């Protein structure tokens, strides 16, 4: 069940204040407007009088310092050269301890869409810690986003696609604070000895590449013409949570849920009030068990795809370390967009942070548990000058994850 429309409108009403419709000297200036009053929208407007100097403010998540996500519509600037500046983009350029990695705006190119559906990159400008978009809209409206949005209607379509196949069942794990169902797909039939594989994404709502990854993973897993996928659904059971944080996604948050919680810092001791999404998935996982887990994310800074394994959890074993090495090699063979040699950003920490899902799962179940980080920018060793790291590459990466998983499947259970 979904929240009714009135509920959504009241949640977004704060955004409506962002709309600036100006009555000023010239007709072209009077028509300029910036709005984020729609699902996933996020921006604050300081000034939208002059297309050459639109001043915007990235909205922080509650007390989180992270501020990246933007998604808004600009109206009234057709055929005009526009400069849109994020005046607070210096607030959060780099994550701590990552000095060897380029900051999040260096090499970043924003996404633009004429119709809100088809997205391409446009030009950015980064000077003295302040990032601006340079664009000349061809139409009266143009959408900008940090990465192409993935809305709940698309989540619903993916669920509906899966449920058309008898191998898939839907389980609603519970309800989020904003009233969304927390959906889990079970694919394959449980039986003694079959590995239990958990795949989840979008703990961090701004990392929509995780949703495009899920599209590729689920759609290939249920492709009846794909023999490898068929074998996987016969020999394993999959528990897939495509959208861990619907509230944050709808509200246009960078990292948090409706209660201001970064869910990927809640797994060790989840607070049922602040992180009910984690409690629901974690309880189900404890009841069912886990032999594999992949948690899909995006990274603002990294110019490569990164896979992390549970190599520094307290219960670390050589068996799991060897499994992770085999998994990464198989992923590279299946999709050279990923290279095993690309380093742990900032260096491998001495001790795993068990508040993070992949570490907690690896520790709790002693299994292969993988963190996936896809870039917002591009994979530097295999660049796409037009689109960089695109939704299509995310989807392909999700599909090729099946090859990596198939390579280690017989060894997942000790
Ligand atoms: Zn993340």
292-299 and 368-375 as β-strands: parallel, antiparallel, unpaired?
Answer: parallel
In a domain, 289, yes or no: yes
**How far does residue 273's CA lie from ligand 1's centre (Å)?**
21
**What mean pLDDT is reported for the chain?**
92
388 in the same domain as 290: yes
271 in the same domain as 122: no
Q: Which residues contact 165 (CB under 8 A, 6 or more apart)?
A: 222, 224
pLDDT band at 262 (very low <50, low <70, confident <90, very high): very high
Tell me the catalytic residues: 373
In a domain, 19, yes or no: yes
Spacing of C-alpha 280 from chain mean position: 20
200 in the same domain as 134: no
In a domain, 162, yes or no: yes
From residue 1, how far is each of 94, 181, 242, 284, 356 by CA, in Å?
39, 6, 17, 20, 29
Q: Which of 32, 101, 116 is nearest to 377 (CA)?
A: 101
pLDDT (tens digit, 9 = 90+) per residue, 215-247? 999 999 999 999 999 999 999 999 999 999 999
Q: How many helices (H) and strands (E) does the chain have?
A: 10, 17
**How far does residue 225's CA lie from ligand 1's centre (Å)?**
33
pTM of the model: 0.93
Q: Mean pLDDT throughout 58-73?
A: 85
Full DSSP string of 60-77: P-TT-------EEEEES-
Burial-class residue 346 by CB neighbours within 10 Å (0-12, 13-18, 19+). Answer: middle
**How far does residue 269's CA lie from ligand 1's centre (Å)?**
19
Question: From CA 120, how far away is CA 209, in angstroms rounded?
Answer: 15
363 in the same domain as 256: yes
Q: What is the pLDDT of residue 355?
A: 98
389 in the same domain as 365: yes
pLDDT (tens digit, 9 = 90+) per residue, 317-328? 999 999 999 999
Instruction: Name 174's bridge partners.
Output: 182
Of the residues 111, 145, 179, the one at which a domain ends? 145
In a domain, 43, yes or no: yes
Q: What is the pLDDT of residue 374?
A: 98
pLDDT band at 347 (very low <50, low <70, confident <90, very high): confident
**How far does residue 348's CA lie from ligand 1's centre (Å)?**
17
Q: What is the pLDDT of residue 222?
A: 98
Checking if the pLDDT of 393 tops 80, the result is yes
In a domain, 8, yes or no: no
Of the residues 114, 145, 176, the one at which a domain ends? 145
**How far does residue 268's CA lie from ligand 1's centre (Å)?**
17
In a domain, 3, yes or no: no
In a domain, 354, yes or no: yes
Percent of the chain with pLDDT over 70: 92
Structural domain for 141, as ranges: 14-145
259 in the same domain as 241: yes
pLDDT band at 97 (very low <50, low <70, confident <90, very high): confident
In a domain, 355, yes or no: yes
Of the residues 91, 121, 145, the one at which a domain ends? 145
User: What CATH number is associated with residue 338?
Assistant: 3.40.630.10
**How far does residue 329's CA lie from ligand 1's centre (Å)?**
23
**How far does residue 111's CA lie from ligand 1's centre (Å)?**
19
Q: What is the pLDDT of residue 3?
A: 43
Question: From CA 252, how far away is CA 59, in angstroms rounded?
Answer: 9
User: What CATH number is associated with residue 53?
Assistant: 2.60.40.3120
70 in the same domain as 121: yes
84 in the same domain as 167: no
72 in the same domain as 19: yes
404 in the same domain as 384: yes
Q: What is the pLDDT of residue 345?
A: 86
**How far does residue 46's CA lie from ligand 1's centre (Å)?**
28
Number of folded domains that form the chain:
2
Q: What is the pLDDT of residue 98?
A: 82
394 in the same domain as 296: yes
392 in the same domain as 282: yes
Counting other chains too, the contacts that 109-115 makes at CB distance below 8 Å and 24 or more residues apart are 109/377, 109/388, 110/144, 110/145, 110/146, 111/144, 111/145, 111/146, 111/147, 111/148, 112/142, 112/143, 112/144, 113/142, 113/143, 113/144, 113/145, 113/148, 114/138, 114/139, 114/141, 114/142, 114/143
Full DSSP string of 231-279: HHHHH-EEEEES-S-HHHHHHT-SSB-TTS-BGGG-SSS--TTT-HHHH
245 neighbors 277 (Cβ within 8 angstroms): yes
Least confident of 32-46, 94-108, 215-229: 94-108
């Amino acid at each position: 069940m979904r929240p009714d429309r009135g509920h959504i409108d009241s949640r977004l009403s704060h955004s409506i204040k962002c709309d600036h419709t100006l009555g000023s000297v010239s007709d072209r200036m009077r028509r300029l407007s910036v709005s984020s009053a729609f699902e996933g929208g996020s921006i604050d407007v300081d000034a939208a009088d002059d297309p050459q100097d639109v001043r915007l403010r990235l909205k922080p998540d509650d007390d989180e310092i992270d501020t990246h996500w933007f998604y808004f519509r600009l109206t009234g600037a057709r055929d005009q050269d526009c400069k849109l500046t994020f005046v607070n983009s210096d607030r959060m350029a780099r994550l701590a301890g990552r000095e060897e990695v380029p900051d999040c705006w260096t090499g970043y190119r924003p996404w633009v869409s004429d119709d809100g559906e088809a997205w391409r990159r446009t030009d950015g400008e980064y000077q003295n810690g302040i990032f601006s978009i340079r664009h000349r809209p061809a139409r009266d409206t143009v959408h900008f986003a940090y990465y192409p949005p993935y809305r709940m209607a698309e989540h619903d379509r993916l669920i509906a696609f899966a449920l058309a196949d008898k191998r898939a069942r839907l389980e609603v794990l519970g309800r989020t604070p904003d009233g969304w169902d927390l959906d889990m797909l079970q694919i394959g039939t449980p039986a003694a000895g079959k590995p239990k594989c958990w795949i989840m994404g979008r703990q961090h709502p701004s990392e929509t590449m995780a949703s495009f990854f899920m599209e590729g993973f689920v759609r290939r897993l249920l492709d009846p013409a794909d023999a490898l996928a068929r074998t996987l659904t016969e020999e394993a059971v999959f528990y897939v949570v495509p959208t861990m944080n619907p509230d944050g996604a709808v509200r246009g948050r960078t990292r948090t849920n409706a209660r201001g919680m970064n869910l990927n810092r809640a797994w060790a001791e989840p607070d049922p009030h602040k992180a009910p999404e984690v409690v629901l998935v974690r309880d189900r996982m404890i009841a069912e068990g886990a032999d594999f887990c992949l948690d899909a994310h995006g990274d603002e800074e990294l110019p490569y795809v990164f896979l992390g394994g549970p190599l520094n959890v307290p219960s670390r074993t050589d068996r799991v370390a060897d499994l992770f090495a085999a998994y990464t090699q198989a992923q590279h063979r299946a999709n050279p967009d990923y290279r095993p040699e690309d380093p742990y950003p900032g260096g491998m920490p001495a001790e795993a942070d068990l508040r993070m899902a992949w570490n907690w799962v690896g520790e709790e179940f002693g299994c292969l548990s993988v963190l996936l980080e896809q870039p917002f920018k591009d994979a530097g060793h295999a660049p796409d000058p037009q689109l960089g790291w695109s939704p299509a590459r995310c989807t392909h990466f999700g599909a090729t994850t099946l090859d990596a998983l198939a390579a280690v499947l017989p060894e997942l259970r000790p």
